[in-house]
Amino acid sequence: MKKTQFLLVALALGFVFSCRENDGITDETPDQKEVHSKIVNVTSHDGRPFSTGTSSYAKFVAGPGGSVLMQGFYWDVPDGGNWWNTVKGKLTDWSNAGIGAVWLPPASKAQNGAYSMGYDPTDYYDFGNYNQNGSIETRFGSRAELEALITKAHAENMQVYADIVINHNSGGQSEYNPYVGSNTWTNFSGVASGKFTRNYNDFYKNAYGNNDEGAFGGFPDLCHANPYVQDWLWGRDDSVGKYYKNVMKFDGWRFDYVKGFGPWVVSTWNSNVGGFSVGELWDSNVNTLEWWANNANSSVFDFAAYYKMDDAFDNGNLNVLNDDMMWKRNPFKAVTFVANHDTDIIYNKMLAYAYILTHEGYPTIFYRDYEEWLNKERLNNLIWIHNNKATGTTSILYTDNDEYIARRNGYNGNPGLVVYINNSSSWQERWIQTNWTSQQIKDFTGSSNWYPTTQSDKWVKIQCAPKSYSIWSLNQ
């Protein structure tokens, strides 16, 4: 949910990787320059290749490191009904880059019709095919265009996640509410689809009580305790959840403002409907995040990691990356992110993306970061590294205010990696212990020209450019 409309200044984040000569370290040999035939050799500033993905058309196939999620919108995307077509036109490139899923904004008709971002839902079954709230299409387009987007994504082996807003509704007509003693905007008997009609008893306060966990923005607060509401949200064959999944073909759910209702709601939805799910629990307390994820039987956005990254990379305090985060508690229920449509506070974003794309959890990339603001080739390189090298548990090897080094320990034959993040203004070098004995490694970002060989005790010296990162793994 858009809590505050942020005024964002487009930052010139030209992320420059530099290189220097190093005594005792030889440049790569012609054999070392050979890269597997399916790897694109995108050239770094000094002419050396780094890995980004496949060179020919290739639908997404999950690598040993898992998948990456694209948030396929931002706040106030252009109106005019063309957003579904815009996203559809990018799916092949996203798939080729190694992105395995796209999260879409709320797709159904909302109170502000063609101008709404969807977080004020009126008719859950109007995807831009009914004339109500001043328009036929939604801000994003028509139902046919949405279905074409989803079909295209599936053809690319990508999943599509729907933004589900079930805390509150908007756009109802006024009716007398005996539980309030005055009129409320809770009459949804005239929704154009004819499905999930609602009245005052489907919203708090009503026969089921005065309130639940939380209301939002003065909107009518949907009552999940009402069996009628439960039946229409997830119970019946044409419920909202089952219709989205079985008819519209969505693969998963991003639940908006889950502070507003109990985690049992998401858990019950998931057990009845199925599919991937992640909740927006805007809370930096990792205990709260873990409690909600366990009780909701769902993933949760790792706001604990989000605020730690801001402190680390913007405030020069990389030691806080030793602190607890949701991905450390349960990486299988942690969705990590650097920015989203609601909040964008991290300035040193490339360092943050290097962090989430090399660590455990399910990393999310924000549309504007990828398509408009940051270096797409660098992001593609990180996506490739995530999908192909970021495997196994995580061991933190070194931290201080300016430097952070961690090792992914590898899994099932995959060697894992070592990530070195340097937030200082000068090149840094460290001896670290790897999982590799007497084997040559290289920096898969192309930033360093070192090709060191690990010692018999697995120790090796690595380096990192200023305000940058390097990511090391076996030279294979």
Q: What is the pLDDT of residues 341-376, one digit of tens each?
A: 999 999 999 999 999 999 999 999 999 999 999 999
Class of domain 53-391: alpha beta
Q: Would you list the domain boundaries of the chain?
A: 53-391
C-alpha–C-alpha distance, residues 96 and 119, integer Å = 31
> Are the CB atoms for 84 and 145 separated by under 8 Å?
yes
pLDDT (tens, 9 = 90+) of the chain, 476 residues, equals: 543 333 333 333 333 333 322 322 223 323 332 222 223 334 343 334 455 444 345 799 999 999 999 999 999 999 999 999 999 999 999 999 999 999 999 999 999 999 999 999 999 999 999 999 999 999 999 999 999 999 999 999 999 999 999 999 999 999 999 999 999 999 999 999 999 999 999 999 999 999 999 999 999 999 999 999 999 999 999 999 999 999 999 999 999 999 999 999 999 999 999 999 999 999 999 999 999 999 999 999 999 999 999 999 999 999 999 999 999 999 999 999 999 999 999 999 999 999 999 999 999 999 999 999 999 999 999 999 999 999 999 999 999 999 999 999 999 999 999 999 999 999 999 999 999 999 999 999 999 999 999 999 999 999 999 999 999 999 99
Strands 69-71 and 362-366, by their bridges, are parallel
Q: Is the peptide bond before 467 cis (omega within 30 degrees of 0)?
A: no
Question: Side-chain half-sphere of 269: how many Cα atoms within 13 Å?
Answer: 33
C-alpha–C-alpha distance, residues 410 and 408, integer Å = 6
Residue 4 DSSP class: S
What pLDDT does residue 51 have? 55
Residues belonging to the binding site for Ca(2+) are 167, 231, 237
Tracing tokens 């952070």 back to the chain, one arrives at: 404
Q: Look at residues 41, 51, 57, 146 and name the one whose alpha carbon lies nearest to residue 95.
A: 57
Calculate ∠ Cα 231-236-241, nearest 5°: 85
Residues belonging to the binding site are 167, 231, 237
> Are the CB atoms for 277 and 244 separated by under 8 Å?
no
Q: Look at residues 232, 227, 101 and name the one whose alpha carbon lies nearest to residue 169.
A: 232
Residue 11 DSSP class: P
C-alpha–C-alpha distance, residues 175 and 200, integer Å = 8
Dump pLDDT digits (tens) for 144-184. 999 999 999 999 999 999 999 999 999 999 999 999 999 99
C-alpha–C-alpha distance, residues 413 and 366, integer Å = 31
What pLDDT does residue 144 have? 98
Question: Side-chain half-sphere of 65: how many Cα atoms within 13 Å?
Answer: 27
What pLDDT does residue 47 have? 38
C-alpha–C-alpha distance, residues 447 and 20, integer Å = 10
What is the pTM assigned to this prediction? Answer: 0.90
DSSP string, 170-229: --PEEEEETTTTEEEEEE-TT-TT--S---GGGEESBTTBS--S---TT--EE-TTSHHH
What pLDDT does residue 141 have? 98
Tracing tokens 């949910």 back to the chain, one arrives at: 1
Give the residue numbers marked as catalytic: 256, 280
Q: Look at residues 190, 182, 220 and name the one whose alpha carbon lies nearest to residue 203.
A: 220
All residues at 6 or more sequence positions from 372 whose CB lies less than 8 Å from its CB, including other chains: 10
Which burial class, exposed, middle or buried, applies to 324 when counting CB atoms under 10 A from its CB (0-12, 13-18, 19+)?
Answer: middle
